[in-house]
Chains A and B, each alone.
Chain A
């Protein structure tokens, strides 16, 4: 989830610049210090890819939250609430379910798999579950394709934030942003990412909660905000906003069930030191996520009420909602922290993608071809650089193309990984053929339909998206093929994996 229309250069007034630039520099210095600390602790491929399987509950929950949210939660999301109203909230509404669902469906199984086998990546889990290098390789291919798209989207967003703050030009800012994340990721790997995620996650949650209070205060309270909007533009406060009911409910489905297929988040479950600590994971993650999402809802509605009541000038674009609100209605230091929090959200997401993308290239794809690279730590670092350079080059292209890749990334993760991973780890009747067929279906349908939509060869009715169709079809294919090949189900289940699924 990333906004492409982030802060535009020139939206920050000259008198606010020194504080915002000062806070941004302080923020990047802290990130660098954390990166150097993590680099000293990174000694092996296991440290680089899964933080040496030694993180605690608090670190897991906050880093998972930080990886889940990107700049979209701070800029694009409030902008969407401003323009379409309550319907946009259906993107974040599933958060009430997804953390607990993820804990029941994936966290325990993935963490226990790491007890019986060496687990570095999500495709590892698929490979072990179905004893299939092909399934592991296909999942890795999907992850690499989606990762490049996602990283390009996030690097463009990071470039726009840096450009707005330092006015270096968009192209240069993209490369500088990529270099900053790369610097700590390539040296400290996921360990640097995890430590930075904790710092960034705390920053995001605290800043968001404070801004929410200012949003309520500026609009005279939630009741006054609602009444003002109802008076001038009641469709905003309708239960599905200005979206069709099908479109809003489709958001809930895609972002709800699709959350189970986001490898940059779920692969963090491998890293937890003690599986029994999962007990409080959903509560902690839900609290952190809910706090951070307050800004998403609050700023969009407050800004709408302020504009409708004439208290603020109409916005040039919906994505100006957060920057305008921060600069007009919050103390400057808080605004500066939120601008840094936007960068923080993007960087933590990019780092996670670097890790899973390079792991897929270093570890999973060679395994799929029956080989294993000699020095996974060194190759992990090399692939991290290659992926980042490719993504940064793509990010220099048109915003429409980059937006397409971002949407494609989310859809590809969801349609290829939800059936084989989330359902397959909980259903012994799932077969190798079912997993391979569903991953292939997700790849082909997502790529085909998203491309057709991008090139305007086909237009979906309101509320129907390529991602949703691909997700539905890949789940159904998974069940149908597994049922047809059900005689082979028992043979694809190793004894230790069976023990994990029985636990």
Chain B
């Protein structure tokens, strides 16, 4: 039996699939009677951040290499967004007498500051400070440019392959861009 290695990318793919299934189920629950429909928002509150953070991890993951320092900001943002949504659903309604957090009723503050404002600072800074080591270094760029050189040499062969594929599919071929 083949064993699938767990890498950030495979975990992320699982997250995207599970998150999407969760979101689909949450929408599906809205078609059912009220008691079942009440589950939908809670499922959505978890599934949406799972799906979005997993998509982000999928983009940040590079082969089998670990996420490195990026795992902490990703985790923090997942907690902020998912936790913020759940708190907004679970906290009791606010009253006119407060409490007010930085000028907003508590539950609105959780949403606006926790979900909307804090990740604004976390993710772009994490991206910038890990860019050279984890996203795109000069060496990475050189490798890609080397592939272009090879690609140019292999273009003719690739065009032939694409035309063969299209002929098999009964579809037209394109010339290489």
- Assuming A115-B141, A116-B148, what are 5 further A-B pairs, CB within 8 angstroms? A97-B123, A119-B177, A280-B128, A427-B9, A462-B30
Decide yes or no: A464 and B151 within 8 Å by CB, A86-B111, A238-B108 being known contacts.
Answer: no
Interface centre among B63, B85, B118, B177 (most CB of A within 10 A): B177
B40 within 8 A of A: yes
Annotate A229-248 by CB proximity to B: 1 below 8 A, 0 otherwise: 01100100111100011100
A388 within 8 A of B: no
Chain B hits for A495, CB < 8 A: 147, 150-151, 154
Interface size range on B against A: 35 or more
B68 within 8 A of A: no
Contact of A472 among B20, B116, B138 (CB under 8 A): B20
Annotate B101-115 by CB proximity to A: 1 below 8 A, 0 otherwise: 011110110111001
Asked if residues A279 and B128 are in contact (CB atoms below 8 Å), the reply is yes
Asked if residues A252 and B48 are in contact (CB atoms below 8 Å), the reply is yes
Given the complex of chains A and B, what is the CA–CA distance between A253 and B49 in angstroms? 9
Given the complex of chains A and B, what is the CA–CA distance between A464 and B112 in angstroms? 23
Chain A hits for B21, CB < 8 A: 476
Given the complex of chains A and B, what is the CA–CA distance between A105 and B123 in angstroms? 13
Asked if residues B124 and A282 are in contact (CB atoms below 8 Å), the reply is yes
Residues of A within 8 A of B (CB): 86, 89, 92-97, 99-101, 103-106, 108-109, 112, 115-119, 124, 127-128, 131-134, 136, 221-223, 225-227, 230-231, 234, 237-240, 244-246, 249-250, 252-253, 256-257, 260, 275-276, 278-280, 282-283, 286, 290, 297, 367-370, 372, 422-423, 426-427, 429, 460-464, 468-469, 472-473, 475-476, 479, 491, 494-496, 498-500, 502-503
Given the complex of chains A and B, what is the CA–CA distance between A367 and B59 in angstroms? 29
Chain B hits for A106, CB < 8 A: 59
Of all chain A residues, the one with the shortest Cβ separation from B73 is A100
B11 within 8 A of A: no
Interface centre among A222, A279, A469 (most CB of B within 10 A): A279
B79 within 8 A of A: no
Asked if residues A257 and B51 are in contact (CB atoms below 8 Å), the reply is yes
Asked if residues A97 and B23 are in contact (CB atoms below 8 Å), the reply is no
Given the complex of chains A and B, what is the CA–CA distance between A260 and B108 in angstroms? 27
Decide yes or no: A253 and B44 within 8 Å by CB, A89-B111, A118-B177, A223-B103 being known contacts.
Answer: yes
Kindly identify, within residues 46 to 82 of chain B, every residue whose CB is under 8 Å from any CB belonging to chain A: 48, 51-52, 55-56, 58-63, 77, 81
Query: How many whole Å from B100's CB to the nearest CB in chain A?
Result: 6
Chain A hits for B13, CB < 8 A: 427, 429
Asked if residues B103 and A226 are in contact (CB atoms below 8 Å), the reply is yes
Chain B hits for A500, CB < 8 A: 144, 147
Contact of B58 among A112, A252, A290, A426 (CB under 8 A): A426
Q: In terms of DSSP, what is the predominant structure of the interface of chain B?
A: helix
Q: In terms of DSSP, what is the predominant structure of the interface of chain A?
A: helix
Query: How many whole Å from B135's CB to the nearest CB in chain A?
Result: 6
Chain A hits for B17, CB < 8 A: 476, 479
Chain A hits for B44, CB < 8 A: 245-246, 249-250, 253
Residues of B within 8 A of A (CB): 9, 13, 16-17, 20-21, 23-24, 26-27, 30-31, 37, 40-41, 44-45, 48, 51-52, 55-56, 58-63, 77, 81, 85, 88-89, 93-96, 100, 102-105, 107-108, 110-112, 115-120, 123-128, 131-132, 135-136, 138, 140-141, 143-148, 150-151, 154, 158, 161-162, 165-166, 169, 171-175, 177
Asked if residues B123 and A227 are in contact (CB atoms below 8 Å), the reply is no
Asked if residues A463 and B128 are in contact (CB atoms below 8 Å), the reply is no
Give 4 nearest A-B pairs by CB, closest first: A222-B103, A105-B59, A499-B147, A104-B59
Decide yes or no: A246 and B174 within 8 Å by CB, A222-B102, A476-B20 being known contacts.
Answer: no
Given the complex of chains A and B, what is the CA–CA distance between A52 and B158 in angstroms? 26
Decide yes or no: A226 and B104 within 8 Å by CB, A119-B177, A234-B94, A257-B52 being known contacts.
Answer: yes
Given the complex of chains A and B, what is the CA–CA distance between A223 and B96 in angstroms? 11
Contact of B40 among A89, A246, A468 (CB under 8 A): A246
Decide yes or no: A226 and B105 within 8 Å by CB, A97-B77, A105-B55, A133-B174 being known contacts.
Answer: yes
Asked if residues A96 and B128 are in contact (CB atoms below 8 Å), the reply is no
Given the complex of chains A and B, what is the CA–CA distance between A116 and B96 in angstroms? 60
Asked if residues B136 and A249 are in contact (CB atoms below 8 Å), the reply is no
Chain B hits for A119, CB < 8 A: 177
Decide yes or no: A279 and B132 within 8 Å by CB, A234-B96, A476-B24 being known contacts.
Answer: yes
Chain B hits for A494, CB < 8 A: 151, 154, 158
Asked if residues B40 and A97 are in contact (CB atoms below 8 Å), the reply is no
A to B CB contacts below 8 Å, 30 in the list: A97-B81, A100-B123, A101-B52, A104-B127, A116-B151, A118-B177, A124-B177, A127-B174, A221-B103, A226-B100, A226-B108, A227-B100, A231-B96, A237-B94, A239-B89, A239-B107, A249-B44, A253-B23, A253-B48, A256-B52, A368-B172, A370-B172, A463-B27, A469-B27, A495-B151, A496-B147, A496-B148, A502-B63, A503-B136, A503-B140
